[in-house]
Amino acid sequence: MPEILRTDPNIIITGTPGVGKTTTAQELALRTGLHHLDINEVVKKHNIGETSSDPDDPNVKIVDEDRLLDCIENDLEEGGQIIDWHACDLFPPSLIDLVCVIRCDNKVLYDRLKKRGYGEKKLQENLDCEIMEVLVQEAREAYDEGMVVELRSEKTGDVDANVDRIEEWVQNWKKDHGKDGLQAQEDVQKDEDDPMFLHG
């Protein structure tokens, strides 16, 4: 089966709950035309999450990762997906082009999670995750280090600045790998196949 050449990149936007990853993913989708792939919505749509047995957090879903990957495999192969989830290491590295880990100061994060109504146990678990840089380490272990970028999201304007930066990356990726880049490669190949093509 021939390799499918993606003309749009797949980007993971990940981070501890409350850091602003969904806001970032939504804004990036609006600006770039890429698709916001909200994994929580995929889990709900395909009913692939089981309710946690933790009495302190009954709303948490334990996701069947194999079924999840089956559900989104075609989307990832086509490209142009902004994957929005609190984990990243299950997505195949061969189908991922950039991993953005959104970070946040713990004081700001505490206030955000408190407003969401998080209980003390769940709140502390998420703060510990941020302090220990769990998701940053997870990303660096799963993907080439050059693909992993840390972005801060604490102040007004941080989301816009982060989206500006990712949007610029997307434009550069498309120049190298996207429609324009593939067309340029095809044109060069046609020229090289032409007996009139002059070498050197």
The β-bridge partners of 149 are 100
Return left, alpha or beta for 25; rule: phi > 0 is left, psi -120 to 50 is alpha, else beta.
alpha
* 155 is known to lie in a ligand binding site: yes
Phi, psi of 48 (to 5 degrees): -115, 25
Q: Return the DSSP state at 49.
A: E
* 116 is known to lie in a ligand binding site: yes
Q: Give burial (CB, 10 Å; 0-12/13-18/19+) of 181.
A: middle
What CA–CA distance (Å, rounded) separates 113 from 51?
A: 21
* 181 is known to lie in a ligand binding site: no
What CA–CA distance (Å, rounded) separates 124 from 47?
A: 28
* 200 is known to lie in a ligand binding site: no
What is the SS3 assignment for 14?
A: strand
What CA–CA distance (Å, rounded) separates 175 from 21?
A: 26
Contact assessment for residue 63 and residue 47, using Cβ atoms and an 8 Å cutoff: no
* 18 is known to lie in a ligand binding site: yes
Going by the annotation, the residues of the binding site for ATP are 18, 20-23, 116, 155
Going by the annotation, the residues of the binding site are 18, 20-23, 116, 155
